[in-house]
Amino acid sequence: MEITTIAWIGAGALGAIGLFFLTKGWITVYNKFIYWRNKLDEKFAGIDVIMQRRIDMLPALAQVAKKYSIHEYKTIKDTIEARSRWSKDAPINDKVKAVEDVENNFLKIQAVFERYPKVKADRLYQQIMGSGNITRIERKLQQFRLTYNRVVRDYNERVQRFPRNIVAQVHGFKVANYLNLGNKANQGAQEEYKPRELFAE
């Protein structure tokens, strides 16, 4: 009886020790996920600032469109709506989708104005789009995108690898989407530009 009792006590002690290390390990993995999710938000914050500069251009571009009776205004409205779809509380993947929508629509905005030579000579238009403004924004956005996507890669690896993926599933840590900019516009054969079809209501 004494040997059996000692065995049970020993097993219980080992179980308690195992549970302690398992719980500690779980907490450690969970805290790491919190760290990486915060790092994702931090890197995206830089993208958010750059995108706000994009959005700040839209009211002035709308004035230019009105001045020259440019009716393909729908894409400007779509771009503003795309920006308004994310907030500080929105999931990161929703924010990424909103950025991609804004950028794709901004490419369409540039295509619209390219078809109006008088617009390109307009002083307000030159202030907004000239002097390397667009180039600087695009360069900065690409730099932030690369930094953000590197963090996404490291975060996703942790979400998907066993046994950390169990902790991720239990606590709702999901794979983050990479930020892709300009892919729709720059990859593959381009269709002929048809403004009335492209910007039809």
- What pLDDT was estimated at residue 199? 35
- Bond before 163 cis per omega within 30 degrees: yes
Q: Estimate the crossing angle of helix 2-67 against helix 92-114, to 10 degrees.
A: 20
- What pLDDT was estimated at residue 188? 33
Mean residue pLDDT across the chain: 76
- What pLDDT was estimated at residue 156? 95
Residue range 34-76, pLDDT digits in tens: 999 999 999 999 898 888 888 888 788 888 887 877 776 677 7
Domain boundaries, the chain: 27-198
Residue with more model confidence, 68 or 161: 161
Lowest mean pLDDT, pick from 14-28, 72-86, 113-127, 178-192 = 178-192
> Domain 27-198 carries which CATH code?
1.20.1440.20
Residue range 90-114, pLDDT digits in tens: 888 988 988 888 888 888 888 888 8
User: Within 68-91, where are the H helices?
Assistant: 74-84
